[in-house]
């Protein structure tokens, strides 16, 4: 996916509020964003709703995209922020309901799945923290560089590397994967 | 130079990295009207934003009409206390009230029209 074409579309959107150009940007990147949010949330319907919110946020603050780094990196930053905001508001809602005497629904829409319905990847992701999961998905599913992940998560590159190292170690320990690291 | 080395180091992947990449890989998702839905939402927001200012102006005007007419009535009743000579002098020096109001309405209509044309 050419970044110069992305930058051209962004320029058209910012200068003339061109919704057709924005639609083209959405078409080009919806798959990455939706896949990222699906892996992060584990809920396809929620992920697609969040992806829509993410693109609306992106439309509103597209002028803040400086062109430094890839557009998909910037977009995944918006997606990650949208995901964290939704988690925070869901948590607040659950707290209010609990304090009001209601039993909080389960996070995944109140339905549980039997263990064998989870894919290997979902099992892998389950042992990671939210931050580790986001960084691992950005790195291994979206192919972002460590610097791009650092920009997207507002973390230093060194921290990104250590989070990836820790994530790999957790997966290795939990699933008895042989260490192929030859340096 | 240092950044080039870092990028090179990132590109050197071991078997574990390749295994994880294949585990994390997922087929591209079909658009299935997703982008159309997003653009429709964006268009709706744009229109809402364009209509907000004129709508607020109309509502504000409607709310302001009653106190404004009260104020005009009060001013006209006060005018009886002012000497007739002073009123004549003032009316000669400033345009009529109706003219001012008409001018203000025309100006507002022109501004809103220009804004719509720009959009």
Q: pLDDT, tens digit, for every residue of A68-87?
A: 888 999 999 999 999 999 98
pLDDT score, position A178: 56
Please list every residue in chain A whose beta carbon sits closer than 8 Å to the beta carbon of residue B6.
146-147, 157
**pLDDT at B79 exceeding the cut of 70:** no
Question: For residues B41 and A56, is the Cβ–Cβ distance under 8 A?
Answer: yes
**pLDDT at A179 exceeding the cut of 60:** no
Q: Enter the pTM of the model.
A: 0.68
Residue A17 CA to residue B52 CA, distance in Å, equals: 18
pLDDT score, position B89: 66
Of the candidates A49, A68, A53, which has an alpha carbon nearest to the alpha carbon of residue A10? A68
B7, B24, B27, B50: best to mutate for the A interface, most A CBs within 10 A: B24
3-state secondary structure A87-100: HHHHHHHHHHHHHC
Buried b / exposed e across A44-79, counting CB within 10 Å, b at 16+? Answer: eebbbebbbbbbebbbeebeebeeebbbbbbbbbbb
Of the candidates A118, A154, A181, which has an alpha carbon nearest to the alpha carbon of residue A163? A154
Averaged pLDDT, B49-66:
84
**pLDDT at B34 exceeding the cut of 90:** yes
Q: CB under 8 Å, gap of 24 or more: what pairs does B89-93 form?
A: none
Dump the DSSP string for B33-88. Answer: THHHHHHHHHHHHHHHHHHHHHHHHHHHHHHHHHHHHHHHHHHHHHHTTS-HHHHH
Across chain B, mean pLDDT equals 78
pLDDT in tens, A99-149: 777 655 544 444 455 555 567 777 778 888 889 999 999 999 888 999 999
CA angle centred on B29, ends B24 and B33, rounded to 5° = 155
Residues of chain B whose beta carbon is less than 8 angstroms from a beta carbon of chain A are: 6-7, 10, 14-17, 19-21, 23-26, 28-31, 34-39, 41-43, 45-46
Question: For residues A52 and B37, is the Cβ–Cβ distance under 8 A?
Answer: yes
pLDDT score, position A182: 39
**pLDDT at A27 exceeding the cut of 60:** yes
Residue A131 CA to residue B60 CA, distance in Å, equals: 48
Output A171 or A103, whichever has higher pLDDT: A171
Q: Which of A26, A55, A180 sits opposite B14 (nearest CB)?
A: A180
For the ranges A17-21, B12-16, B92-96, the maximum mean pLDDT occurs at A17-21
């Amino acid at each position: 996916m050419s970044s110069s074409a992305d930058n051209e579309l962004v320029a058209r959107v910012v200068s003339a509020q061109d919704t057709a150009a924005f639609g083209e940007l959405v078409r080009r990147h919806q798959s990455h964003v939706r896949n990222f949010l699906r892996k992060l949330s584990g809920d396809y319907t929620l992920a697609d709703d969040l992806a829509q919110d993410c693109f609306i946020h992106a439309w509103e603050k597209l002028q803040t995209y400086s062109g430094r780094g890839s557009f998909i990196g910037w977009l995944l930053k918006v997606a990650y922020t949208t995901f964290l905001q939704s988690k925070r508001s869901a948590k607040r809602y659950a707290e209010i309901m609990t304090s009001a005497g209601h039993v909080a629904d389960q996070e995944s829409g109140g339905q549980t799945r039997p263990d064998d319905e989870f894919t290997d990847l979902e099992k892998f992701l389950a042992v990671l923290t939210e931050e580790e999961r986001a960084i691992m998905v950005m790195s291994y599913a979206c192919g972002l560089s460590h610097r791009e992940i650092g920009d997207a998560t507002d973390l230093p590159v060194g921290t990104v590397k250590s989070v990836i190292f820790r994530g790999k170690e957790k997966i290795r320990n939990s699933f008895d994967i042989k260490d192929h690291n030859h340096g | 130079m240092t950044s080039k080395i870092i990028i090179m180091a990132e590109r050197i992947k071991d078997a574990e990295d390749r295994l994880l990449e294949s585990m994390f890989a997922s087929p591209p998702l079909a658009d299935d009207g997703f982008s159309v839905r997003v653009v429709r939402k964006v268009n709706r927001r744009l229109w809402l934003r364009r209509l907000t200012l004129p709508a607020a102006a109309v509502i504000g005007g409607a709310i302001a009409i009653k106190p404004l007419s009260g104020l005009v009535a009060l001013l006209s009743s006060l005018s009886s206390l002012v000497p007739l000579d002073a009123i004549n002098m003032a009316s000669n020096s400033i345009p009529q009230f109706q003219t001012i109001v008409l001018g203000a309405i025309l100006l507002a209509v022109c501004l809103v029209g220009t804004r719509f044309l720009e959009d």
